[in-house]
Amino acid sequence: MARGRGRVARPRRRAPPWPACHGGGWTRKGLDGKPEGGWIPQQAIDLPTSIEGYTLGSARANFLENDRGSITVGKYADLALLSENLFRIPAERIKDVCVALTLAGGRVVHSEWRGGSGAGPDHCE
């Protein structure tokens, strides 16, 4: 653990981005599912565009697209395995998906996967 200013700095869990994307982009609704139809639904962002913005788009914004931002031979093996396939579930359920496994530099740095052959939030702690 890192130390700073006389205190012990403990690692913090970061919240995944999709709850914010849920209301701000995909469904245009709050986490409670309201309002019906969403706020200004014509401004919704589709899932592929949103994911590209968080991955390759972020790498491009930091001038790192040559070695980050996509799963490509020769790039860093930094990725997160989610408990469910975001493209196969309703947008309203994406906010409940958990990060089951995180790889950084090809090494496991975070794991909440409890095993099993299925997927879903019940496979994460």
pLDDT 10s digits, 15-67: 566 656 655 666 777 777 777 877 777 777 888 888 888 889 889 999 999 99
Sign, CA torsion 78/95/47/91: positive
pLDDT at 117 over 60: no
Q: Phi/psi of residue 19, each to 5°?
A: -60, -40
**Average pLDDT score over residue span 94-113:** 83
Place of tokens 């409940």: 96
The most confident of the ranges 10-14, 104-108, 119-123 is: 104-108
Residue 8 reports pLDDT greater than 50: no
101 bridge partner residues: 81, 111
Greater model confidence, 24 or 92: 92
Q: Which residues are bridge partners to 113 per DSSP? A: 124
CA distance 110 to 99: 9
Contact by Cβ (8 Å): 111, 125 = no
Query: What was the pLDDT predicted at 4?
Result: 44
